[in-house]
Structure 1
Amino acid sequence: MTGAEILALTLRAEAGGRPVRAIEAVAALAVNRARLAAMDAATGLRFAPGARPGLGLAALLGLVCRVPFLFGCWMPRNPRRRALLLAMQASTEGTDTMLEACRRIAARAAAGALPDPTGGATHWHAADELPGWALGLVPTAEIGGLVFYRLPVG
Protein backbone atom coordinates (compact mmCIF):
# COMPACT_ATOMS: atom_id res chain seq x y z
CA MET A 1 0.00 0.00 0.00
CA THR A 2 1.43 3.40 -0.94
CA GLY A 3 1.86 6.29 1.46
CA ALA A 4 -0.84 8.23 -0.40
CA GLU A 5 -3.30 5.34 -0.03
CA ILE A 6 -2.50 5.03 3.69
CA LEU A 7 -3.12 8.76 4.04
CA ALA A 8 -6.41 8.51 2.11
CA LEU A 9 -7.66 5.70 4.36
CA THR A 10 -6.56 7.67 7.42
CA LEU A 11 -8.38 10.78 6.21
CA ARG A 12 -11.53 8.78 5.56
CA ALA A 13 -11.44 7.14 8.98
CA GLU A 14 -10.50 10.24 10.97
CA ALA A 15 -12.28 13.09 9.18
CA GLY A 16 -14.47 11.56 6.46
CA GLY A 17 -17.69 12.90 7.92
CA ARG A 18 -16.38 16.47 8.08
CA PRO A 19 -16.25 19.23 5.43
CA VAL A 20 -13.64 18.87 2.69
CA ARG A 21 -11.72 21.81 4.16
CA ALA A 22 -11.30 19.88 7.44
CA ILE A 23 -10.09 16.78 5.58
CA GLU A 24 -7.57 18.92 3.72
CA ALA A 25 -6.42 20.38 7.04
CA VAL A 26 -5.78 16.91 8.49
CA ALA A 27 -3.83 16.02 5.33
CA ALA A 28 -1.80 19.23 5.69
CA LEU A 29 -1.00 18.29 9.29
CA ALA A 30 0.32 14.93 8.09
CA VAL A 31 2.46 16.73 5.50
CA ASN A 32 3.81 19.06 8.21
CA ARG A 33 4.85 16.07 10.28
CA ALA A 34 6.39 14.31 7.26
CA ARG A 35 8.45 17.38 6.41
CA LEU A 36 9.64 17.63 10.00
CA ALA A 37 10.54 13.92 9.96
CA ALA A 38 12.75 14.55 6.94
CA MET A 39 14.75 17.23 8.79
CA ASP A 40 17.01 14.98 10.87
CA ALA A 41 17.18 11.54 12.48
CA ALA A 42 15.94 12.61 15.92
CA THR A 43 12.92 14.44 14.54
CA GLY A 44 12.33 11.53 12.17
CA LEU A 45 12.10 9.15 15.13
CA ARG A 46 9.45 11.36 16.71
CA PHE A 47 7.26 11.98 13.68
CA ALA A 48 7.91 8.99 11.40
CA PRO A 49 9.69 6.07 13.09
CA GLY A 50 11.33 3.88 10.48
CA ALA A 51 12.07 6.76 8.13
CA ARG A 52 15.31 6.46 6.18
CA PRO A 53 17.33 9.32 4.70
CA GLY A 54 16.12 10.28 1.25
CA LEU A 55 12.62 8.87 1.70
CA GLY A 56 10.11 10.84 -0.38
CA LEU A 57 7.13 12.77 0.94
CA ALA A 58 4.57 10.12 -0.08
CA ALA A 59 6.43 7.34 1.75
CA LEU A 60 6.89 9.54 4.82
CA LEU A 61 3.16 10.23 4.87
CA GLY A 62 2.50 6.51 5.18
CA LEU A 63 4.82 6.33 8.19
CA VAL A 64 3.38 9.48 9.78
CA CYS A 65 -0.15 8.09 9.63
CA ARG A 66 0.84 5.02 11.61
CA VAL A 67 2.65 6.80 14.45
CA PRO A 68 0.92 5.78 17.69
CA PHE A 69 -1.59 8.25 19.11
CA LEU A 70 -1.68 10.73 16.21
CA PHE A 71 -4.37 8.95 14.23
CA GLY A 72 -6.37 6.70 16.51
CA CYS A 73 -7.78 4.67 13.65
CA TRP A 74 -4.48 2.76 13.38
CA MET A 75 -4.61 1.71 17.05
CA PRO A 76 -6.32 -1.68 17.50
CA ARG A 77 -8.51 -0.72 20.48
CA ASN A 78 -9.44 2.80 19.37
CA PRO A 79 -13.12 3.43 18.51
CA ARG A 80 -12.11 4.90 15.11
CA ARG A 81 -10.46 1.60 14.14
CA ARG A 82 -13.83 0.38 12.83
CA ALA A 83 -14.01 3.37 10.47
CA LEU A 84 -10.57 2.45 9.11
CA LEU A 85 -11.58 -1.16 8.55
CA LEU A 86 -14.74 -0.03 6.76
CA ALA A 87 -12.66 2.33 4.59
CA MET A 88 -10.31 -0.53 3.72
CA GLN A 89 -13.26 -2.71 2.72
CA ALA A 90 -14.76 0.10 0.65
CA SER A 91 -11.36 0.58 -0.96
CA THR A 92 -11.57 -2.85 -2.56
CA GLU A 93 -15.21 -2.44 -3.54
CA GLY A 94 -14.90 1.07 -4.99
CA THR A 95 -18.25 2.14 -3.53
CA ASP A 96 -17.26 5.00 -1.21
CA THR A 97 -17.40 8.45 -2.81
CA MET A 98 -15.94 10.09 0.31
CA LEU A 99 -12.94 7.74 0.12
CA GLU A 100 -12.46 8.86 -3.50
CA ALA A 101 -12.43 12.49 -2.33
CA CYS A 102 -9.90 11.56 0.37
CA ARG A 103 -7.75 9.89 -2.31
CA ARG A 104 -7.72 13.09 -4.36
CA ILE A 105 -6.74 15.11 -1.29
CA ALA A 106 -4.05 12.56 -0.36
CA ALA A 107 -2.63 12.67 -3.90
CA ARG A 108 -2.33 16.45 -3.72
CA ALA A 109 -0.71 16.17 -0.29
CA ALA A 110 1.79 13.52 -1.48
CA ALA A 111 2.68 15.72 -4.45
CA GLY A 112 3.33 18.68 -2.14
CA ALA A 113 0.54 20.65 -3.81
CA LEU A 114 -1.87 20.99 -0.88
CA PRO A 115 -2.01 24.41 0.84
CA ASP A 116 -1.68 24.36 4.63
CA PRO A 117 -4.63 26.10 6.32
CA THR A 118 -3.41 24.98 9.79
CA GLY A 119 -0.46 27.34 10.24
CA GLY A 120 2.06 24.51 10.37
CA ALA A 121 0.12 22.37 12.85
CA THR A 122 1.59 19.12 14.15
CA HIS A 123 -1.21 18.10 16.54
CA TRP A 124 -5.00 18.14 16.47
CA HIS A 125 -8.18 17.06 18.22
CA ALA A 126 -11.92 17.33 17.70
CA ALA A 127 -13.40 20.60 18.97
CA ASP A 128 -15.79 18.76 21.28
CA GLU A 129 -12.84 17.18 23.16
CA LEU A 130 -10.01 18.74 25.15
CA PRO A 131 -7.14 16.31 25.67
CA GLY A 132 -4.75 16.99 28.53
CA TRP A 133 -1.85 17.80 26.20
CA ALA A 134 -3.83 20.74 24.74
CA LEU A 135 -4.52 22.51 28.05
CA GLY A 136 -3.13 26.03 27.97
CA LEU A 137 -2.07 25.86 24.33
CA VAL A 138 -3.21 28.36 21.72
CA PRO A 139 -4.58 26.74 18.55
CA THR A 140 -3.22 27.75 15.16
CA ALA A 141 -6.55 27.02 13.47
CA GLU A 142 -10.03 25.60 13.95
CA ILE A 143 -11.49 24.09 10.80
CA GLY A 144 -14.61 22.00 10.39
CA GLY A 145 -14.88 21.06 14.05
CA LEU A 146 -11.18 20.21 14.39
CA VAL A 147 -8.65 22.20 16.40
CA PHE A 148 -5.01 22.38 15.28
CA TYR A 149 -1.81 23.21 17.18
CA ARG A 150 1.85 23.63 16.35
CA LEU A 151 3.89 22.20 19.20
CA PRO A 152 7.60 22.91 19.57
CA VAL A 153 9.78 20.40 17.73
CA GLY A 154 12.75 20.36 20.10
Structure 2
Amino acid sequence: MTVTEKDRDVLARTLWGEARGEGLAGMVAVAWTIRNRVYDGKDTSWWGEGYAGVCGKPSQFSCWNKNDPNNPYLTGAKKIPAAEFARCQLAAQQVIEGITPDPTDGATHYYSTSMTKPPRWVAGAKQTSRLGLHIFFKDVP
Protein backbone atom coordinates (compact mmCIF):
# COMPACT_ATOMS: atom_id res chain seq x y z
CA MET A 1 0.00 0.00 0.00
CA THR A 2 1.22 3.47 -0.84
CA VAL A 3 1.28 5.84 2.12
CA THR A 4 0.51 9.39 1.05
CA GLU A 5 1.50 12.70 2.63
CA LYS A 6 -2.14 13.06 3.65
CA ASP A 7 -1.93 9.71 5.46
CA ARG A 8 1.19 10.85 7.32
CA ASP A 9 -0.37 14.19 8.24
CA VAL A 10 -3.70 12.74 9.40
CA LEU A 11 -1.94 10.08 11.48
CA ALA A 12 0.26 12.70 13.16
CA ARG A 13 -2.77 14.91 13.85
CA THR A 14 -4.65 11.94 15.29
CA LEU A 15 -1.72 11.19 17.58
CA TRP A 16 -1.76 14.79 18.76
CA GLY A 17 -5.48 14.61 19.45
CA GLU A 18 -5.45 11.21 21.11
CA ALA A 19 -2.06 10.83 22.84
CA ARG A 20 0.05 13.99 22.94
CA GLY A 21 0.33 13.75 26.73
CA GLU A 22 1.54 10.16 26.62
CA GLY A 23 5.06 10.82 25.36
CA LEU A 24 6.63 9.21 22.31
CA ALA A 25 6.05 5.65 23.56
CA GLY A 26 2.34 6.30 24.10
CA MET A 27 1.94 7.95 20.72
CA VAL A 28 3.71 5.02 19.06
CA ALA A 29 1.32 2.59 20.78
CA VAL A 30 -1.73 4.52 19.58
CA ALA A 31 -0.24 4.71 16.08
CA TRP A 32 0.20 0.93 16.09
CA THR A 33 -3.50 0.40 16.83
CA ILE A 34 -4.21 2.48 13.74
CA ARG A 35 -1.62 0.60 11.67
CA ASN A 36 -3.13 -2.70 12.82
CA ARG A 37 -6.46 -1.52 11.43
CA VAL A 38 -4.88 -0.32 8.18
CA TYR A 39 -3.21 -3.69 7.63
CA ASP A 40 -6.05 -5.92 8.80
CA GLY A 41 -5.58 -8.34 5.88
CA LYS A 42 -8.90 -7.58 4.20
CA ASP A 43 -9.25 -6.29 0.65
CA THR A 44 -11.94 -3.83 1.71
CA SER A 45 -11.81 -3.03 5.39
CA TRP A 46 -14.64 -1.88 7.63
CA TRP A 47 -12.07 0.41 9.28
CA GLY A 48 -11.49 2.43 6.12
CA GLU A 49 -8.63 2.48 3.65
CA GLY A 50 -5.20 3.85 4.47
CA TYR A 51 -4.20 5.83 7.54
CA ALA A 52 -6.38 8.82 6.63
CA GLY A 53 -9.40 6.58 6.05
CA VAL A 54 -8.94 4.69 9.32
CA CYS A 55 -8.36 7.85 11.37
CA GLY A 56 -11.31 9.60 9.77
CA LYS A 57 -13.77 6.74 10.21
CA PRO A 58 -16.72 8.31 12.08
CA SER A 59 -16.89 7.65 15.82
CA GLN A 60 -13.60 5.76 15.98
CA PHE A 61 -11.15 8.41 17.20
CA SER A 62 -12.93 10.97 19.33
CA CYS A 63 -10.48 13.77 18.52
CA TRP A 64 -12.05 13.94 15.03
CA ASN A 65 -15.60 14.31 16.38
CA LYS A 66 -16.89 17.80 15.55
CA ASN A 67 -17.75 18.50 19.21
CA ASP A 68 -14.33 17.43 20.52
CA PRO A 69 -12.15 20.32 21.76
CA ASN A 70 -9.20 18.91 19.77
CA ASN A 71 -11.06 19.06 16.45
CA PRO A 72 -10.29 22.72 15.59
CA TYR A 73 -6.58 21.91 15.85
CA LEU A 74 -6.87 18.81 13.69
CA THR A 75 -8.81 20.59 10.97
CA GLY A 76 -6.42 23.57 10.89
CA ALA A 77 -8.78 26.14 12.39
CA LYS A 78 -6.28 26.46 15.24
CA LYS A 79 -2.54 25.86 15.07
CA ILE A 80 -0.92 22.87 16.78
CA PRO A 81 2.30 23.99 18.52
CA ALA A 82 5.22 23.12 16.20
CA ALA A 83 7.33 21.25 18.76
CA GLU A 84 4.37 19.09 19.83
CA PHE A 85 3.44 18.33 16.24
CA ALA A 86 7.04 17.39 15.41
CA ARG A 87 6.92 14.66 18.10
CA CYS A 88 3.65 13.37 16.63
CA GLN A 89 5.19 13.32 13.16
CA LEU A 90 8.17 11.36 14.50
CA ALA A 91 5.91 8.76 16.11
CA ALA A 92 3.87 8.49 12.91
CA GLN A 93 7.00 8.04 10.80
CA GLN A 94 8.41 5.34 13.11
CA VAL A 95 5.20 3.32 12.89
CA ILE A 96 4.48 3.83 9.18
CA GLU A 97 8.03 2.78 8.30
CA GLY A 98 8.04 -0.10 10.80
CA ILE A 99 11.06 1.30 12.64
CA THR A 100 9.53 0.69 16.07
CA PRO A 101 7.98 -2.71 16.89
CA ASP A 102 4.34 -2.99 17.98
CA PRO A 103 4.18 -2.55 21.76
CA THR A 104 0.45 -3.40 21.75
CA ASP A 105 0.72 -7.02 20.54
CA GLY A 106 -1.67 -6.45 17.64
CA ALA A 107 -4.22 -4.23 19.38
CA THR A 108 -6.89 -2.58 17.26
CA HIS A 109 -8.61 -0.77 20.13
CA TYR A 110 -7.74 1.23 23.22
CA TYR A 111 -9.40 3.49 25.68
CA SER A 112 -8.19 6.06 28.15
CA THR A 113 -8.46 5.37 31.86
CA SER A 114 -9.66 8.96 32.17
CA MET A 115 -13.07 7.74 30.96
CA THR A 116 -15.64 7.37 33.74
CA LYS A 117 -16.32 3.76 32.75
CA PRO A 118 -14.89 1.36 30.15
CA PRO A 119 -16.59 1.22 26.75
CA ARG A 120 -19.04 -1.62 26.06
CA TRP A 121 -16.75 -3.25 23.51
CA VAL A 122 -14.28 -4.22 26.29
CA ALA A 123 -16.53 -7.16 27.23
CA GLY A 124 -15.09 -10.21 25.49
CA ALA A 125 -11.99 -8.41 24.17
CA LYS A 126 -8.43 -9.47 25.00
CA GLN A 127 -6.35 -6.87 26.83
CA THR A 128 -2.87 -6.81 25.34
CA SER A 129 -1.08 -4.02 27.20
CA ARG A 130 -1.34 -0.88 29.25
CA LEU A 131 0.81 2.17 28.66
CA GLY A 132 0.29 5.43 30.50
CA LEU A 133 -3.41 6.27 30.48
CA HIS A 134 -4.26 3.88 27.63
CA ILE A 135 -5.34 0.24 27.83
CA PHE A 136 -5.02 -1.72 24.56
CA PHE A 137 -7.16 -4.60 23.25
CA LYS A 138 -7.49 -7.01 20.33
CA ASP A 139 -10.06 -9.61 19.33
CA VAL A 140 -12.84 -7.15 20.03
CA PRO A 141 -16.19 -8.84 19.34
Q: In which range does the TM-score fall when normalised by the shorter chain?
A: 0.7 to 0.9
Shift of 1:84: 2.9
Which residue does the alignment assign to 1:108? 94
1:47 aligns with 2:47: yes
1:122 aligns with 2:108: yes
Q: TM-score of the superposition, structure 1-length normalised?
A: 0.76
130-139 vs 81-90, greater mean Cα deviation: 81-90
Instruction: Check the 8 A contact 2:125/2:140 in 1, yes or no.
Output: no
Q: Give, in whole Å, the separation in 1 of the partners of 2:120 and 2:131.
A: 20
Which residue does the alignment assign to 1:133? 121
SS where residue 70 of structure 1 aligns?
coil
Q: Give, in whole Å, the separation in 2 of the partners of 1:33 and 1:69.
A: 15
Task: Give the 5 Å matches for 1:69-84.
Answer: 69-82=59-72, 84=74
Which residue does the alignment assign to 1:16? 20
Shift of 1:68: 1.7
SS where residue 148 of structure 1 aligns?
strand
Shift of 1:85: 4.7
| Letter in structure 2 aligned against 1:26 | V
Aligned length: 135
Q: Please give the root-mean-square deviation of Cα atoms over the aligned residues, in Å.
A: 2.2
Q: Give, in whole Å, the separation in 2 of the partners of 1:77 and 1:87.
A: 14
Task: Give the 5 Å matches for 1:19-38.
Answer: 19-36=23-40
Shift of 1:131: 1.1
Large movers: runs of 4+ above 6 Å: none
> Residue 145 and residue 113 in structure 1: after superposition, are their counterparts in 2 closer, same or farther (change >3 A)?
same
1:59-85, CA deviations, whole angstroms, 9 ceiling, x for partnerless residues?
Answer: x11211111222111121234424535
| Letter in structure 2 aligned against 1:68 | P
Identity of aligned residues (%): 28
Structure with more of its chain in helix, by fraction: 1
